[in-house]
Chains A and B, each alone.
Chain A
Amino acid sequence: MNNLELPTEKTAEFSSVDESSLVVIIFDSNPGQKLLRENPHLLTHCLDSIISFSNSHLMQKSQNKLAVMACHSRKSDFIYPGPGKPLDIRQVDGQYETFTLVEKTIKQNLAKHLAGESAMLNTESLLAGAIAMALCYISRLQRTKSPAFTLNSRILVVTGSSDSASQYMNYMNVFFTAQKQNVVIDVCALDQHLSLLQQGCDITGGLYLRLPQLQGLLQYLLWVFLPEPPIRQKLVLPPPVKVDYRAACFCHREMIDIGYVCSVCLSIFCKFSPICTTCHTVFKIPALAVKSKKKKIKL
């Protein structure tokens, strides 16, 4: 890596006293993820990497802020700072107190969060909802901070689940909101490729990375996701992948190039049909469609 030639003034700019950054990490804790079903020990491995990443973020600047959320198919919780009073921590082994606090709080709250969730359930993790909560949280910090202070916010999603079209609208709503509020969404995919979340990264200016090997999780987190977005342009990071923005038809959830859009509700269909299944509007049949589908449609 030949990225050590950062101009000195630039470095100064990013480290001004009245600017700091908030990272909200959303960790997919679903025991039904393929990855965890095959090897439950990976949960600890991932968690340790996330804790180390969290501490590195806090260490970069004393004003930096951190929140960690855990999300599975039935609920999403803030596991750091978490509800209630902070834990009472005394210095252990000369470790910086905050780090101990982060680690203990995360582990304790994650255990509570996971209680009762069984690995048999292979339902999807409701990540779009967790992002919605994170955006509410960020919006409060932005509202209540002193106006002289700049807080750059980003959300990092770490997940091994696959993404599913059933959360499509929630995903789109959170992506557009993040874009409007200047919140960057980063995604670290541990297992499958996630085309919806990748669109979110593209819309909000974040980074999408599908991890080549799980063993290197911490290295990748520190290398790719720790630098703040303005600095990233100057680093040698994995090249951006082209995002597929094709539409998925509402009828079969298949990707299409050409489709039919309901003029009332903008639902997308892959074939002409006389009635919209979303809003129940009955359509006037266009001349062309009549010709080609005369036999099929009786009106």
Chain B
Amino acid sequence: MRTIILSAALMAAAIFTSCSTKKPEYPAAEATPKPLGAVVEIKAPLGLPPVPVPAGNPPTAETIALGRKLFYDKRISVDATISCASCHDPKFGFADAKQFSDGVGGKKGGRNAPTVINSAYSTLQFWDGRAPSLEKQAEGPMGNPVEMAHNAPDVEKKLSADPVYRAEFDKAFGPGPITYEKASMAMASFERTVLSGNSPFDRYLYGGDKKALSAGAIRGLAVFRDAKKGNCAVCHSVGEKDALFTDNKFHNLGAGMDAKGELTDLGRFAVTNQEADRGAFRTSMLRDIAQTAPYMHDGSLKTLKDVVDFYVGGGNSNPNRDKEIKSLDHLTKQERADLVTFLESLTGELPSNVGPVQ
């Protein structure tokens, strides 16, 4: 079981670089793979800005399809029981319903699996942002034979044994061996298509459909944006034309405390060593949030009401708590309930072709 998870996650690691912020050194001879086919435009749904795409990995129909297949393929794990989708399951908003994913259950200091929805827009990946970006992740461990040493060859061998995969990799990247790097580029391109927008909120605010939101959700949106009420949008940004619901920055809310009030996870600090980053985590994007319970990096909050109550309580005190986090006990029962209703209106539409290949 452990090995499987390790291997599945090795695939993940191929996409998200290591803890080290140091740039990997590339053997000069190694050529970077290039997608072959015609570049496709990934259309952003209503409410989302254009999808950022790295120059070195333009999405093609072939790489996206290949990435999708790999994402759901359990064979990439050693005994064929775990795929990326085991922890990033479309049934649970591309996250999982557990506090900590399988294989880490009960382990102290674990993190909740975040959704991969809209991760194309994250300037840094992971709760602590230790992976600089999707494209850097793809490069990251790939070109480095020392870093790759352990398990990548196994995965490569396994995929190479399948003639269908061989054909698909050839179609996507041109003839050549199946590499880990290609696999991760394909998965990154697929992930860029896992976008959720056009929610009732988007149709209301950006689509001119004043009936798209319920009265409660409209009030909740006002509370969310009002600096004197919920003050949520100061971090969960809502723009003029679109809303990512994140400033892509790191904040300490005090989530994840032990009994004695010590932070159980230092978050961003472990990456930057900056005192200000102690216990800081990346602002979540909130899209499809009703589907991705439990909440926070430690999955400690089971419901959206618990999350709203967490903010009403001013989070948990600690020396590094963000100055924007203050008790919101001035919010009335109605305003608290409206915030929950509003968060529920952020469930959008995913493209039809991001589920498992039938």
Task: Check if A and B associate.
Answer: no
A residues sitting closer than 8 Å to B (CB atoms) are: none
B residues sitting closer than 8 Å to A (CB atoms) are: none
